[in-house]
């Protein structure tokens, strides 16, 4: 297990690169970690610091951010983050009671997508962007298992800006995995994972700078 210390038989926590043991023969930062009903890989520094800084500034300025609303207990409330949807023409996406129509790809999104596609050996036709403005912005437990994503989707998550904790929990065993997502990092989830695991980015009481997350995916049809 790359950079993972098992707290109990149901809990793992990643704090890379501090926990990475370069002398473990099985450690390979480019190998996917197999877990019950899926696999994932976390790559800190996938984009170097100058690249990550440049993309963060470009995305903050150039993306058409929107405050979406959702229905909760019969009331319309703001999403606790800003969002935007970019992709190929005719690839809308629906979640949490809203339907997003894609904006056309920007130059920087195309550059990021191409680098992620090369690593994943997968073609993506859309990306959901989330802007976490402060520690009170979050995303609650969910899975990316909408029917338009197919049976076992590959979800590639790129992170720029402040570090935030990403948590996964198995639906049946309640096993938990916690990963600190760093500036310029890439997290890829694939296999059956979206059908058996849920994930979230919880709120934090720490004072944190803005963070932008991009989740690349393939919309079928």
Kindly list the structural domains of the chain, giving each domain's residue range(s) and its CATH number in brackets, ordered by start. 4-69+76-217 (2.60.120.590)
The pLDDT assigned to 185 comes to: 98
- Per-residue model confidence as pLDDT tens digits over 56-90: 999 999 999 999 887 777 788 898 999 999 999 98
pLDDT score at 6: 34
Q: Please provide the size of the chain in residues.
A: 221
Confidence check: pLDDT of 25 > 50: no
Q: Is the pLDDT of residue 1 over 80?
A: no
Count of beta carbons in the 10 Å neighbourhood of residue 123: 10
In order, the DSSP letters of the chain are: -TTEEEEETTEEEE-TTTT--TT-TT--TTSPEEETTEEEEEETTSS-HHHHHHHHHHHHHHS--B--EEEETTEEEE-SSEEEEEESTT--EEETTEEEPPBPPPHHHHHHHHHHHHHHT----EEEEEEE-STT--EEEE----GGG-SS--EEEEEEES-EEEEEEETTT--EEEEEEPTTEEEEEETTHHHHEEEEE---SS----EEEEEEE----
Over residues 35-57, the mean pLDDT reads 97
In terms of pLDDT, which residue wins out, 105 or 4? 105
Query: What pLDDT shows up at residue 30?
Result: 81
Rounded to two decimals, the pTM is: 0.85
> What's the pLDDT at 28?
56
Burial of 98 per CB tally in 10 Å (0-12, 13-18, 19+): middle
What is each CA distance from 123 to 81, 211, 220, in whole angstroms?
A: 27, 25, 12
3-class DSSP state for residue 89?
coil
Q: What band does 92 get if pLDDT is binned at 50, 70 and 90?
A: confident
- Give the CA-trace dihedral at 132, 138, 143, 147, to 10 degrees: -60
Determine the pLDDT at residue 20.
Answer: 37
Q: Taking the CA of residue 4 as centre, how many other CA atoms within 13 Å lie in the half-sphere pointing to its CB?
A: 25
Q: Place 18 in a pLDDT band, splitting at 50, 70 and 90.
A: very low
* Tens-place pLDDT, residues 128-185: 999 999 999 999 999 998 889 999 999 999 999 999 999 999 999 999 999 999 999 9
Model pLDDT, residue 70: 76
């Amino acid at each position: 297990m790359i950079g993972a210390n098992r707290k109990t038989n149901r809990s793992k926590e990643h704090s890379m690169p501090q926990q990475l043991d370069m002398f473990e023969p099985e450690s390979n930062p480019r190998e996917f970690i197999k877990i019950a009903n899926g696999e994932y890989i976390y790559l800190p520094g996938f984009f170097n610091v100058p690249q990550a800084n440049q993309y963060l500034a470009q995305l903050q300025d150039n993306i058409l951010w929107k405050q979406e609303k959702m229905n909760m207990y019969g009331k319309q409330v703001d999403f606790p983050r800003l969002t935007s949807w970019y992709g190929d023409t005719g690839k809308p996406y629906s979640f949490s009671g809203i339907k997003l129509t894609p904006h056309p790809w920007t130059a920087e999104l195309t550059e990021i997508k191409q680098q992620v596609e090369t690593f994943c050996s997968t073609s993506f036709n859309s990306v959901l962007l989330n802007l976490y403005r402060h520690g009170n912005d979050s995303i609650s437990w969910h899975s990316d298992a909408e029917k338009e994503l197919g049976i076992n989707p590959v979800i590639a998550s790129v992170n720029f800006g402040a570090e935030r904790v990403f948590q996964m929990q198995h639906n049946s065993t309640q096993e938990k995995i916690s990963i600190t997502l760093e500036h310029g990092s890439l997290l890829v989830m694939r296999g059956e994972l979206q059908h058996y695991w849920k994930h979230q980015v919880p709120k934090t009481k720490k004072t944190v700078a803005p963070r932008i997350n991009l989740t690349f995916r393939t919309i079928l049809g």
